[in-house]
């Protein structure tokens, strides 16, 4: 869709009424007065970007006008869209399906795609069909979780590194899922097995804040046995999951949520029974995390991120990280 040429000083949408209202004390804000699309003016885009960086996740109501094209066009105002490294898109381009009918419900705390080095900076999720109840999503502020750690634990966390992988035990995660759907999802999701070592604490490239890189793709801390590793991860992760660091969103069709994937984890609650829940996600390219000590994340396997069917893959912009490995 192309919009007709407009006078530069008079954008088609009136975005002067943009307001940002906090939903939670530490995370989340609702942005009103904006009609999302690829034609937003620069001032509006930078106001949205600043709100995402400050509040970690922002919500927009009533964006039913968006379709796959305008969703992607808006996403391009925040950066470069990237494809999921293994799961094919639903539109042949960048739209990833988040549907509850294929075994892909994300009812675990995670940060998107942390099994590759340069995992996405932003995710933009648009609700098409919402169940009559349930199916909420929770987000947590991983900068706030880090900041509230007792000093000795922060010092320890600063020195840790952990290995993230997309190959984990799906059956243990979703014991009630129909085995066929589960198996199919697992097959696609793990068609290539990735392993990436990240610092547990990264320095945010835009805000300078320290944030925790944990979540369900994290398998093991480097240099620890499995038992100690699990115990340490659990202690750190418990701060991420504290209700004070989270916000919970009750979706309506037409809602859009945008989160800073470098400063959050999220959790899709799987409690809407067999009702349809259909969302579309476009992710924006990130950069390779840098730890407090200046060490960067490293792709351990495979040797490079394979090219997807369309465009570039999330994490493909390794930016020299392989040469250091
Ligand atoms: Fe996710």
Neighbour tally for 287: CB within 10 Å: 18
Instruction: Please name the fold of domain 19-301.
Output: Double-stranded beta-helix (3.60.130)
How far apart are the C-alpha atoms of 39 and 216, rounded to whole Å? 37
> In whole angstroms, what is the distance from residue 109 CA to residue 280 CA?
19
Residue with tokens 């966390």: 157
Q: Of 47, 88, 101, nearest to 191 (Cα)?
A: 88
Task: Check 126, 266, 280, 296 and give the catalytic one.
Answer: 266
Q: Would strands 29-32 and 57-60 be described as parallel, antiparallel, or unpaired? A: parallel
The DSSP output letter for 166 is S
pLDDT value of residue 319: 56
User: Is residue 210 within a helix (H) or strand (E), and if so which, with residue range?
Assistant: strand 210-212
Name which of 210, 188, 184, 185 is nearest 199 in CA terms.
Answer: 210
**Which pLDDT band holds residue 100 (cuts at 50, 70, 90)?**
confident
Q: What percentage of the chain exceeds 70 in pLDDT?
A: 88
pLDDT digits (tens, 9 = 90+) for 253-267: 999 999 999 999 999
Q: Which residues contact 67 (CB under 8 A, 6 or more apart)?
A: none
Taking a 5 Å cut-off on Cβ, the residues next to ion ligand 1 are 106, 112
pLDDT surpasses 70 at 59: yes
Spatial contact of 95 and 89, defined as CB atoms under 8 Å apart: yes
Distance 104 CA to ligand 1 centre (A): 10
How far, in Å, from the CA of 261 to the mean position of ligand 1? 9
Average pLDDT over residues 160-170: 87
- Verify whether residue 84 is a known catalytic residue: no
User: What local confidence, expressed as pLDDT, does residue 323 receive?
Assistant: 38
Active-site choice (39, 71, 84, 112): 112
What is the arithmetic mean of pLDDT over 141-152? 98
Q: Kindly report, residue by residue over 117-127, the tens digit of the pLDDT.
A: 999 999 999 99
- Look at the block and give the residue holding tokens 């609700």: 127
In angstroms, what is the span from residue 265 Cα to ligand 1's centroid? 8
pTM: 0.90
Compute the distance from residue 105 Cα to the ligand 1 centre, in Å. 9
Assign 102 a pLDDT band (cuts: 50, 70, 90): low
Task: Kindly name the residue from 26, 277, 281, 296 that is annotated as catalytic.
Answer: 281
pLDDT digits (tens, 9 = 90+) for 210-234: 999 999 999 999 999 999 999 999 9
How far is the centre of ligand 1, averaged over its atoms, from the C-alpha of 266 (Å)?
A: 6
Domain spans, the chain: 19-301
- pLDDT for 324: 42
Residue 281: active-site member: yes
- pLDDT band at 168; cut points 50, 70, 90: confident
Q: Helix (H, G, I), strand (E, B), or coil: what is residue 298?
A: strand
- Burial per residue of 32-55, b for 16 or more beta-carbon CB atoms within 10 angstroms, e otherwise: eebbbbbbbbeebeebbbebbbeb
Q: Binning pLDDT at 50, 70 and 90, where does residue 173 land?
A: low
Do the Cβ atoms of 258 and 126 come closer than 8 Å? no
């Amino acid at each position: 869709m192309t919009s007709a040429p407009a006078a530069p000083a008079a954008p088609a949408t009136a975005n002067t009424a943009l307001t940002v209202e906090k939903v939670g004390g530490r995370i989340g804000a609702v942005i009103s007065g904006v009609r999302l699309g690829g034609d937003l003016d620069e001032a509006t885009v930078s106001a949205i970007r600043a709100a995402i960086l400050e509040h970690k996740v922002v919500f927009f109501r009533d964006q039913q006008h968006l379709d796959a094209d305008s969703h992607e066009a808006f996403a391009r105002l925040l950066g470069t869209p990237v494809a999921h490294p293994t799961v094919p898109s639903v539109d042949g381009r960048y739209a990833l399906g988040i549907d509850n009918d294929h075994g892909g419900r994300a009812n675990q705390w995670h940060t998107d795609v942390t099994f590759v080095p340069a995992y996405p900076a932003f995710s933009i999720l648009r609700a098409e069909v919402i169940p009559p109840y349930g199916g909420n999503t929770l987000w947590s502020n991983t900068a706030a979780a880090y900041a509230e750690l007792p000093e000795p634990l922060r010092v320890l966390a600063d020195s840790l590194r952990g290995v993230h992988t997309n190959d984990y035990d799906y059956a243990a995660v979703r014991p009630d899922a129909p085995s066929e759907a589960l198996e199919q999802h697992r097959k696609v999701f793990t068609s290539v097995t990735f392993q990436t070592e990240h610092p547990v604490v990264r320095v945010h490239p835009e805000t300078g804040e320290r944030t925790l890189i944990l979540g369900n793709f994290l398998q093991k801390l480097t240099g620890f046995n499995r038992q100690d590793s699990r115990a340490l991860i659990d202690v750190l992760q418990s701060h991420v999951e504290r209700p004070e660091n989270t916000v919970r969103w009750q979706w309506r069709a037409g809602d859009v949520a945008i989160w800073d994937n470098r400063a959050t984890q999220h959790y899709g609650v799987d409690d809407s029974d067999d009702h349809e829940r259909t969302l579309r996600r476009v992710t924006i390219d990130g950069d390779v995390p840098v730890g407090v000590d200046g060490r960067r994340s490293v792709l351990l396997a495979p040797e490079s991120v394979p090219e997807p069917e369309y465009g570039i893959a999330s994490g493909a912009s390794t930016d020299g990280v392989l040469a250091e490995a």
